[in-house]
Amino acid sequence: MDKANLIVRVDIDSKKAFAKIGGQEGVERLMARSDQKLFETMAQTGWTVETLNESKGQYMLSLPSVRYEIMGAVISIPSPKFATWFRDTRGKSNGAYKERAQGDLVLQNGENLFTIELGWPFSKTLKLSGAGWTRATIGWDGDAVITTNYVEIGIQLPKVPGLSAILEYFVKNYGNESTLECAAALARGADSLPKPEPSPGPSVILEDSVLSQARLDPGHGHGHAREGRAGLEHGHELGSRSPSASSSKARNEAEEVALR
């Protein structure tokens, strides 16, 4: 930073992405995961996360190479590497918004990082060095994941007309796109989390209760069985008095009355 003659500072507006499948429940489950799991979820395709010290939240983050065509010039950078400190900031909130974590990223490979291809009338290629850092914040509001970012980068810039404007535009666009991509990756992570197993219903609980009672009081079950058998025997006795037997008895009594 001390040797830089161009310093670009960008306070990036918050970016929002929605968990369309997992909804608020999925986002809250994601935010409840460990710092390492959350940080790894944020990593995009082509990102590489190396854990240096999980207990201290220290990681090495490598991003994919970049190539931008801007204002008649082409800016490209190889895979930038950032020493990263990721920390839990739960407890901070503003209305419905809840903050979950912050990450400080410090650029490690800034020497000759930028390649600038200038078109006509310059028609030249420049190699530029830079140093910088960024602070990213992760939070949520309902089913929305929200990310913000502050970027500060210093570049050793030669005296070429219009070059500072090109680099400022590049830093702002790259920062905005990266911040939005982080929010989108976290929202996809919330959508991909499996839902928790449902709790057992009342019928299962009732069945377990009956079985438990039978184990605790074996005689209780046998008592019901005895009552059931007694009822069946009583029913059998009543059923043995058939309608035909009753009719014969009535006919005999009527004949005896007539003879008298």
For the residues of 51-85, what is the DSSP string, one character each?
EEEGGGTEEEEE---EEEEETTEEEEE---EEEEE
**Euclidean distance between CA atoms 29 and 41, whole angstroms:** 13
pTM above 0.75, yes or no: no
SS3 assignment, position 163: helix
Q: Kindly state the average pLDDT of the residues 201-209.
A: 53
**Euclidean distance between CA atoms 136 and 133, whole angstroms:** 10
| Dihedral in degrees, nearest 10, Cα atoms 209, 212, 217, 220 | 40
SS3 assignment, position 222: helix
Domain ranges in the chain? 6-192, 202-259
**Euclidean distance between CA atoms 43 and 64, whole angstroms:** 11
Residue pLDDT, tens place only, 162-192: 899 999 999 999 999 999 999 999 999 999 9
Task: For residue 226, give both structure tokens.
Answer: 């005895």
| The total number of residues written for the chain in this structure | 260
Task: For residue 192, give both structure tokens.
Answer: 């991909």
Mean residue pLDDT across the chain: 82
Residue pLDDT, tens place only, 106-138: 999 999 999 999 887 778 899 999 999 999 999
Peptide bond into 121 cis (omega under 30): yes
In the block, tokens 């990082």 appear at 113
**Euclidean distance between CA atoms 18 and 43, whole angstroms:** 17
pLDDT for position 247: 47
Give the other-Cβ count within 10 Å of 185's Cβ. 19
Which segments within the chain are labelled E, that is strand?
6-18, 48-53, 58-62, 66-70, 73-77, 81-88, 93-94, 97-107, 114-118, 124-128, 130-141, 144-155
CATH number for 6-192 (one of 3.30.70, 1.10.3470, 3.40.50, 3.30.530): it is 3.30.530
Residue pLDDT, tens place only, 47-68: 899 999 999 999 999 999 999 9
Q: What are phi and psi for residue 55, nearest 5 degrees?
A: -65, -30
